[in-house]
Structure 1
Amino acid sequence: MSSTAPLPSDAPFVADNLALDFINSEYGVEDQRRDCFADDDSVMHWLQQAGLVPPTANPQAPRGLLDLARQLRDRSRVVVHAAMNGAPADLGVINQILETGRPLRELEWDSEGRSYRLVSRLRDDNPASLLEPVADALTSLITGDKFEFVRQCEAHDCILLFHDLTKSHRRRWCSMATCGNRMKVAAFRSRQKGE
């Protein structure tokens, strides 16, 4: 598998689920795979794009973020495929992130709304705290009642996953603009050659 370092904006957010979009941060067809995670800063940029870190904050990416993000992504991919097949998988990395990255929850007074509210804050800026929302989203996905609608793109050379939340649950492609169009053009050409 060859890998190039794309611009962080290359990340495909097509899955309709945070955890699946995180898994899809490594994408591509055949030997032209791309990894959106080239270094700690690119992972931080992805987290900003996903809305998990405010883009205006411009925080320093903690050391080790890349390594833990890739571990979480690889384990998450394995767990999703295992769950799709009704099989067990190693949950060590995911459970470790859920435990050590757990956010602080505090009750506070909202003077504008004149009421109390529960707020969650990052425990600190370590890699597990930054990645905990992804692990939490994965947990919600695989234990939720709509997990049955997680699909792999039907393009023969695409590895992307998506959550089919369409009314008919007949979505076939990660994106109609990319894989859907490619596969329809290929089917059309194949029919033309057969005539």
Structure 2
Amino acid sequence: MSGSPSLLTSNAPLFIADHGALDFVNTVAQVEGQPRDFWQSGEDVQHWLTHAGLATLPDRLPFPVCELLQEARRLREVIRRLVMQKKAGEAVDVTALNRYLAEARSYQQLVTDPQGGLRLERIYGTQTPVQVLEPVAALAASLMSDPHFELVRECEHPECTLWFYDRTKAHRRRWCSMALCGNRAKVARFRQQQK
């Protein structure tokens, strides 16, 4: 995204899609006309999962962290392909996503919050990269079966590849973010009017 604010030029993950599975997909974005993968290491994936609130990982994983990077990139492409197929009205092959769901090892646990209240929390396995990524796979499955899937949209800016879930009241959101593409569109319109 040429000329976009530092939001895309930093190494920080983008959380602008209003849906965790789409934020996961958006970890690849166009920056100055080139695809940029915000994940360059397994640690980047760990950081993203923690920041997204999708995983509490042990200090030491029982597998090489580079395997988490490979598996996260694989899952990201599975989700991207499913979203694109469904948006295009094509047949959706859920086999690959179901593989992640089938390998899940999770259970529910009653947890006391700091105020003394109780809440139910799902605890996920961390023995394999696929288990670590299961919360993302579950979000993706939820997204794919969402009865309002039409609210999943790709940013309308021609140079943008980011996706979002339109949670606005009128459901007229057009941009991944007003700070990124919405502002660029306004500036382009203003320049066009000045000519």
Query: What is the TM-score with the length of structure 1 in the denominator?
Result: 0.83
Q: Percent identity?
A: 42
Question: What is the rounded CA distance, in whole Å, between the counterparts of 1:51 and 1:84 in structure 2?
Answer: 27
Change (3 A) 1:170 1:126: same
Question: What is the rounded CA distance, in whole Å, between the counterparts of 1:7 and 1:44 in structure 2?
Answer: 17
1:147 Cα deviation (Å)?
1.0
Pick one of 161, 186, 194 that aligns with 1:159: 161
More relative contact order in 1 or in 2 (CA 8 Å, sep 6+)?
Answer: 2
SS in 2 for 1:144: coil
CA deviation string 1:80-133 (max 9, x = no partner): 011112212443331111111241346x697x66x8x76532223311111111
Which residues in structure 2 correspond to 1:56-71 (within 5 Å)?
Answer: 58-60=59-61, 62-63=63-64, 64-71=67-74
Change (3 A) 1:21 1:128: same
2:104 maps to what in 1?
101
Question: What is the rounded CA distance, in whole Å, between the counterparts of 1:109 and 1:18 in structure 2?
Answer: 23
1:8 Cα deviation (Å)?
4.7
Structure 2 unaligned residues grouped into runs of 5+? 1-8
SS in 2 for 1:33: strand
Change (3 A) 1:8 1:163: same
Question: What is the rounded CA distance, in whole Å, between the counterparts of 1:177 and 1:154 in structure 2?
Answer: 14
1:15 maps to what in 2?
17
Question: What is the rounded CA distance, in whole Å, between the counterparts of 1:52 and 1:127 in structure 2?
Answer: 13
Letter in 2 for 1:133: P
Q: What's the C-alpha RMSD, in Å, of the aligned pairs?
A: 2.4
Does 2:187 match 1:185?
Answer: yes
Which residues in structure 2 correspond to 1:35-74 (within 5 Å)?
Answer: 35-54=37-56, 58-60=59-61, 62-63=63-64, 64-74=67-77
Q: Is the CA contact (8 Å cut-off) linking 2:33 and 2:159 kept in structure 1?
A: no
Query: What is the TM-score with the length of structure 2 in the denominator?
Result: 0.83
Q: Number of aligned pairs?
A: 182
SS in 1 for 2:153: strand
